[in-house]
Every structure is written in C-alpha cells, then in structure tokens.
Structure 1
Amino acid sequence: MKTTTEKLLKEIKENGGISSIISKVYDIKNDSIEENTRTLLNYGWYISGEMKMKKISEVIELIKSEKTKEAESILINFFKENLTKIEEQLIKNHSERKAVLEEAFNAHKSNMFYSSTILFLSQGDGIIDGKIFHNRNNLDKHLDKEKNPNFVNLLKEDSSLNVPSAKIKKSKYFSKLNRHSVMHGKSTDYGTETNSLKALSLCCFVSDWYNRYEQ
C-alpha cells in the first residue's frame, strides 16, 4: 500500500513539479504559501507533509481571528493522533537515526518533555546537516530549487525557533521555544508537551520537504 507521501510524489511527477502542485492545493484565502508558512513558524510550528492543506487553512484562519489556542489545539491534536505513523516514517526515511529517534519518541510518550524536545531539535538540525541553524546565509547552496517547494526557503529566515536567543525577548514572535536557548542550556522551562511537538514538527518539515524528492 502506498503512503500519502508516495502518492504525492507520483502526483508531483505527473503534474509538472512540486511547486505547481503545492500552489494548487495550498490555496489559503489568496495568501501566498510562504506567508502562511511564515505565520506558523512565528508560532513555533512547522508543516508536516502528512497534514491536509484544508486543515492548515483552518489553522491560519483561526490565527488571523486571534483564536490562537484553538489553532494550536488543532496542530497539537494532529501530531498526537499521528505520533506512531510519524515515528515510523521518520525512522524509515532516516534509518541511521533509528536509535536516537526511538529514544526521543519514548521520552515524549513517557512525558519526559525536556528530553524529547532537545532530542527532536537536534535531529531536525541533523536531518538538514546542521544548515538550518548554522550558516543559514549560505543555505541557498544546498537548496535544490527543482526539488524543494518555495516555502522551504523560509529556513533561511529568522523564526521563533531559530532566531538568535539574544533577540527572542525583543522579537515579534509568538513562541518562546528557541533552539539556541534550549541546546545551550539557557532555557530551563521548555519541557512541555506542546514544545516537544513543535520540535517534532521541525523534524517532519525538514524530512518531508527539504530535498525530499531527490530519491
């Protein structure tokens, strides 16, 4: 049985490339895909390739209506309900990371959210070879424009997760989860289920979208 991702790959090949397909299905109130992705990034969330575009549209509209708790609830429920499937897919795509991914998911399932958050953040960084948090100005060299949808370019920009920690308190972002603060021990209050799922969403995003279609 083909997975959702495999079906999407087939559709992409038959319809002129990923950007054209994404543009058609990701119709969110005439706003650009990039704008809506950026909105989610500012709340600390990344998009999984398994999320239905209609559901993402619903989340965006709730955020625009200042119903952020309801919007986050949808995202939280998505990752909770699909946790096993996401774990299996990440391990399938990154078998060399099997042991650390299993430990991260086990920690999450055991409510050890400090551990799971930092592990998911590290693996998200590792999947993209460290380029999301280091030398982001040079990320263009590694982004294959034919294999990545346009919104992956947002990895080059500051967001709540990857903005330098010195800027986070004065920033416009709506999420306090910050990779630098977590990984370098500056943050001591990030151990929540929501933050763990946000960190997991980063793993999904880079696994599903960053140079995902080169195989």
Structure 2
Amino acid sequence: MTNNGIEKLLQQWEKIHFQQHSQLINFHNSVKVLAPLIKLQEKFEKIQIPPNLALYTKQFEMFGNSFNRIASPTLPKLIQSHLELQQSFIDLPPRIQEALLLLAKRGWYYDFNMTLSDLWELRKAIIDENNEEVDEALIEYFDEKIEEVRTSLKMLFPERAHIISAAIDAHIRGEYYLAIPILLAQTDGICKEMVNQYLFMKKDKKPKTAIYVDKFKTDTCKAAFLSPLATTTPVGESEYERKESGGGNSFNRHMILHGESLDYGKKVNSVKAISLINYVSQALKKHNKENTNI
C-alpha cells in the first residue's frame, strides 16, 4: 500500500484552501465592480425629480428596478457563498479529528487510502451505535487490503519486514494470539523509529507521540489526521485508566503483553492491530517526511 491515499486527502485539503482563496478574490473583485453601481444607486435615490421632468419618472424607475435585479441579489449571494466556504474550511479539521477519535475509541484506525466519505459513513455508524456493522465493514476492508498492507510495511520498514510479515502470516492462518502481540510491539517500535517517541508510554496522561503531534498545532488539518497519536485510546490505556473509564476492553496493549487478557485472540482484534500499525506507518512516514523538509 502506498501513501497515495493520504496524498489525495492532503491534495483535497490544498484544493479547498485554493478554492477559498479564489472565492475570496472573486468576492473582492465583485464588490469592486458593484461598488460604483451602489454609489450610483445612492445618487439616484437622492435626486428629487422636478415637475417638468415628471415624464421621465418611468424611465428612472425602470433603471432603478434593473439595477436592483443585478446588484441586490448578487452581493448577498456572494457574501453568503464566501462565508459558507470559509466556514466549511474551518469546520473540516475538527470533523476529521472527531471521526478519527470515534474510530480509535472502538479500536479502529483510519487507512489513508479511504476517502473522507468513507470516514463520514463510519462516523455515522458509530454514532448510531451500529458497532457490529462497523466491525464487519472494516474486517472486510482490511481482509481485501492485507497484502497491500504487508507490501507497504515491508517497503517502509525493510529491517522489520521479516517480523511484520510473520505476524501477518499468523493472522492469515487464524493464529491471532500470535499475531496481535507482535503487531502491537512493532507499532510501538515504528513510532520510536520515526519520531523518537513511544505510542504506549505516557507523559502528562497522553501518549508520548503527542510531543510530535504538537509540532503541527498551527496546521489544523495535519494535527487532525494525527490526533489518535496525541490522545489516550482504549488500546493504550493503563490499568489505572481502564479502572477510571470502566473499560472491559480485550484489545488493550497492556493487558495483552502483560498476560492479563486471556481472550484477546479474536479476528476482530487482530484486524484492529493491523489497522493500527497501518495507520501509524502511513501517518508518521508522510508527516515526518514533510516535517524534515521544512
């Protein structure tokens, strides 16, 4: 799997930004064109028609009506269009972040080869509490993509390829008890390798990878896509955090690697682990590359 998906998403973001900028220029140009007409209208409104020009009243009224048909509907529409585009641009990162964190709270992680429409559909299904539907859809999705995931991870992390490939082979054979711990361990290793921070270690009650994500505070879109790495989610909860949240989640890294969970070996959990390592590899590879080019 390549980074074409995230490239497309970021290109969409840049396109929206360009559209907003173009719309703003068009808006200002339109206002410049309409401004003299508005001043002309104001002058006509101040004219007192003398009795001897009463015959021309009809023509003045016709001109005024024609102007109103041009200027009056156009300017408010331009303003409204600009405001709506600007607001959609502002609202997109929070919507992305909310949807990604809703997925992460269910143990799932976004694949950047999905579209934003896919993300909105998953978000809606979770909000509607159709959790089984979400699980089934994402299991089917990653079943079809499993070899692409393997290829992508081998290309991105050749020194880890033999370990990750063995874990994926175990997953395909249905040996989920073997696959899951390896995938979780390699996920943490990838985070350390890419940004020198661990996902499953905490600082100030947040994953240490949040230190890296904080670098993108001013870029709200990138920060939104990376938000699962800056927030504690069920897979990364400590024993204390699990007690606080009341979580009885079997897909928890601490419980699995410390031998507390004895029933984690299910296909759904194995696919969740694949979705996590896939997300981490895509997100950090892309954004770390951009950050080093700054």
SS in 2 for 1:187: coil
**Residue pair 2:3, 2:286 contacting (<8 A) in 1 also:** no
1:157 match: 231
**Residue pair 1:160, 1:175 contacting (<8 A) in 2 also:** yes
Higher helix fraction (1 or 2): 2
Amino acid at match of 2:200: F
Gapped regions of structure 2 (runs ≥ 5): 19-87, 290-294
TM-score by length of 1: 0.82
**Residue pair 2:251, 2:269 contacting (<8 A) in 1 also:** yes
SS in 2 for 1:45: coil
Q: CA deviation at 1:8?
A: 4.5
Distance 1:67 1:112, change over 3 A: same
1:156 & 1:59 partners in 2: Cα distance? Answer: 21
CA-atom RMSD, angstroms? Answer: 3.2
1:133 corresponds to 2:207? no
Distance 1:13 1:72, change over 3 A: closer
Q: CA deviation at 1:111?
A: 0.6
Distance 1:185 1:100, change over 3 A: same
**Residue pair 1:168, 1:176 contacting (<8 A) in 2 also:** no
TM-score by length of 2: 0.62
SS in 2 for 1:66: coil
Q: RCO greater where, 1 or 2, for CA within 8 Å and sep 6 or more?
A: 1
Q: CA deviation at 1:75?
A: 1.0
Q: CA deviation at 1:204?
A: 1.0
1:142 match: 212
**Residue pair 1:45, 1:198 contacting (<8 A) in 2 also:** yes
1:9 match: 7
1:191 & 1:118 partners in 2: Cα distance? Answer: 10
2:167 match: 104
Distance 1:51 1:165, change over 3 A: farther
2:21 match: none
1:198 corresponds to 2:196? no
Q: Percent of aligned pairs with the same residue?
A: 25
2:245 & 2:12 partners in 1: Cα distance? Answer: 42
After superposition, what is the alpha-carbon deviation per residue over 1:144-203, rounded to whole angstroms, capped at 9, x for unaligned? 416944231332322111011343255265843101111111111100111001111110
2:102 match: 39
Q: CA deviation at 1:90?
A: 1.0
Q: How does 1:17-96 map to 2 (within 5 A)?
A: 32-96=95-159
Count of aligned pairs between the two proteins: 208
1:171 corresponds to 2:169? no
**Residue pair 2:108, 2:275 contacting (<8 A) in 1 also:** yes
Larger radius of gyration between Structure 1 and Structure 2: 2
Distance 1:157 1:31, change over 3 A: closer
SS in 1 for 2:281: helix
1:201 & 1:136 partners in 2: Cα distance? Answer: 24
Distance 1:73 1:42, change over 3 A: same
**Residue pair 1:124, 1:202 contacting (<8 A) in 2 also:** yes
Choose 155-164 or 30-39, whichever is displaced more. 30-39
